[in-house]
């Protein structure tokens, strides 16, 4: 199965078709009469169902866009966010008779001799490719990750069409230039995700620069990796759902390992694993966490990482002018907006986030009030949204932090946040 990129029956036609249906529903939703609230809720439910079905069928960058949007469901209409969450689930894998020719085409006879067997049933399938268990000729268990044919060629077309539709539908409360910056960042990350040579490089980099106790990375079998194919050691573990029932001290140990790892990535390795889907992690009763899928790794410059440290320290001191200055330097403030216009917003969010994280020696991620209060503050300050601009350098870092929060929330971990961030020069004490 090749991923189609053109034609009325191909990817572009399906994306544009969903966009046209969205615009049509928008016009009908604005007509007078009927229960406005109920009609609007139904409008977003219909739009979400349509997009979830369309993007899920297309896979590739189109589906990744839907998955990315679903992770920010808190700022989307609830009915839309609920439908897009469907894209986080594993997709139906392709039959092995469509995958095997890809392996045969990429491997030389010598490479094929190193593979004793490949299980035809995929153990995982996602937007870019699927994974099969295999055994090497020496008996070592491995997994083979195979890219779907054509997804690498469809990235630019998918992002271009989705950018056009986002602009027309006014789904995001930001200006056109900001949307362009966001989409450029999204395009760059999605291109990398379809480039398995880049993914291999990310894995090797993190194995060298972010090798920490409690974190397990697969070992690449470099001699068998090829265009669209990755061969890695099989590293097993339990699911997040299973780990939720483990004893509290073990869940705390896992939470500490994950927090320490993400902080080290940001402020030491300057490379953040930015695909925090629960399926990309496995958990062991030793307290270790296995990390999978290195297609989306965001590299940071030391300057950006340093500015984040300075911003957090300024917020902890209540220096809202300093916070504003760092956001301006990062490109996160619209032209002409002053610190005075945003001081109350800064103060409220600073108190709710940093104040709560530093309130006790151990932060309890199971406390639902943390995220509920933040959601409330975001809604109260929604009218200020046009004064901010998305920081493209931090878009995928925030995605990683969001994923970290929800993983630790599911585990109910209690973590000494103050102690862990202090290692990197952030003073929350």
Question: Over the stretch 369-381, which tens digit does the pLDDT of each residue have?
Answer: 999 899 899 889 9
146 domain residue, yes or no: no
The band of 148, judged by pLDDT with boundaries at 50, 70 and 90, is confident
82 domain residue, yes or no: no
In sequence order, what E strands does 36-151 have?
115-118, 124-125, 129-136, 141-147
The band of 92, judged by pLDDT with boundaries at 50, 70 and 90, is confident
250 domain residue, yes or no: yes
The DSSP letter of residue 75 is: G
Give dist(CA 117, CA 356) in Å, integer: 52
Residue 166 is predicted with a pLDDT of 61
422 domain residue, yes or no: yes
246 domain residue, yes or no: yes
Mean pLDDT for the stretch of residues 105-115: 94
69 domain residue, yes or no: no
In sequence order, what E strands does 12-158 have?
115-118, 124-125, 129-136, 141-147
Please compute Rg for the chain using Cα positions.
23
Residue 19 is predicted with a pLDDT of 64
And the tokens for 100? 């095997």
Domain count, the chain: 1
User: What is the pTM assigned to this prediction?
Assistant: 0.78
> To the nearest whole number, what is the mean pLDDT of the chain?
84
Of 71-85, 130-144, 293-307, 401-415, which range is least confident? 71-85
User: Per 3-state DSSP, what percentage of the chain is helix, strand, and coil (rounded to 5)?
Assistant: 60, 10, 30
In three-state secondary structure terms, 143 is strand
**N- to C-terminal Cα separation, the chain:** 56
353 domain residue, yes or no: yes
The band of 149, judged by pLDDT with boundaries at 50, 70 and 90, is confident
Residue 225 pLDDT exceeds 70: yes
Of 2-16, 351-365, 383-397, give the range with the top mean pLDDT.
351-365
Question: Which domain range does residue 287 map to?
Answer: 237-429
145 domain residue, yes or no: no
Residue 207 pLDDT exceeds 90: yes
Residue 124 is predicted with a pLDDT of 86
Nearest to 423 by CA among 207, 294, 266: 266
Nearest to 131 by CA among 116, 147, 154, 115: 147
Contact 306, 277 (CB under 8 A): no
Q: How many CB atoms lie within 10 A of CB 35?
A: 9
What sign does the dihedral 78-79-80-86 (CA atoms) show? positive
Mean pLDDT for the stretch of residues 86-94: 66
**What percent of the chain lies above the pLDDT cut of 70?**
74
Nearest to 259 by CA among 404, 121, 84: 404
């Amino acid at each position: 199965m090749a991923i189609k990129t053109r034609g009325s029956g191909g990817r572009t036609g399906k994306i544009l078709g969903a966009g046209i249906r969205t615009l049509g529903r928008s016009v009908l939703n604005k007509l007078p009469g009927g229960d406005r609230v109920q009609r609007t809720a139904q409008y977003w439910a219909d739009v979400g169902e349509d997009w979830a079905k369309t993007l899920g069928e297309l896979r590739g960058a189109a589906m990744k866009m839907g998955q990315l949007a679903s992770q920010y469901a808190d700022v989307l209409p609830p009915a839309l966010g609920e439908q897009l969450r469907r894209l986080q689930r594993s997709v139906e894998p392709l039959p092995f008779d469509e995958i095997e020719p890809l392996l045969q085409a990429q491997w030389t006879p010598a490479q094929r001799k190193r593979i004793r067997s490949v299980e035809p049933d995929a153990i995982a399938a996602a937007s870019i490719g699927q994974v099969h268990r295999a055994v090497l000729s020496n008996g070592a268990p491995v997994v083979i990750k195979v890219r779907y044919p054509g997804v690498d060629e469809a990235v630019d077309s998918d992002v271009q069409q989705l950018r056009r539709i986002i602009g027309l539908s006014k789904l995001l409360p930001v200006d056109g230039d900001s949307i362009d910056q966001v989409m450029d960042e999204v395009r760059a990350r999605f291109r990398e995700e379809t480039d398995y040579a880049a993914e291999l490089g990310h894995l090797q980099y993190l194995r060298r620069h972010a090798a920490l106790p409690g974190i397990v990375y697969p070992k690449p079998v470099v001699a068998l990796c090829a265009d669209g194919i990755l061969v890695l050691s099989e590293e097993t573990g339990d699911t997040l759902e299973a780990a939720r029932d483990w004893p509290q001290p073990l869940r705390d140990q896992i939470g500490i390992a994950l927090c320490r790892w993400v902080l080290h990535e940001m402020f030491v390795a300057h490379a953040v694993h930015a695909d925090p889907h629960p399926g990309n992690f496995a958990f062991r009763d030793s307290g270790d966490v296995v990390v999978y899928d290195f297609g989306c790794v965001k590299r940071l410059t030391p300057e950006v990482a340093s500015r984040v440290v300075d911003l957090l320290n300024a917020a902890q001191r209540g220096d809202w002018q300093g916070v504003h200055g760092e956001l301006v330097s990062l490109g996160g403030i619209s032209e002409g907006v002053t610190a005075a216009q945003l001081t109350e917003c800064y103060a409220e969010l600073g108190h709710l986030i940093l104040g709560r994280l530093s309130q006790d020696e151990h932060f309890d991620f199971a406390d639902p009030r943390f995220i509920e209060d933040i959601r409330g503050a975001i809604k109260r300050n929604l009218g200020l949204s046009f004064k901010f601009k998305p920081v493209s350098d931090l878009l995928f870092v925030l995605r990683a932090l969001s994923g970290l929060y929800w993983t630790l929330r599911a585990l109910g971990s209690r973590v000494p946040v103050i102690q862990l961030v202090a290692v990197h020069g952030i003073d929350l004490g």
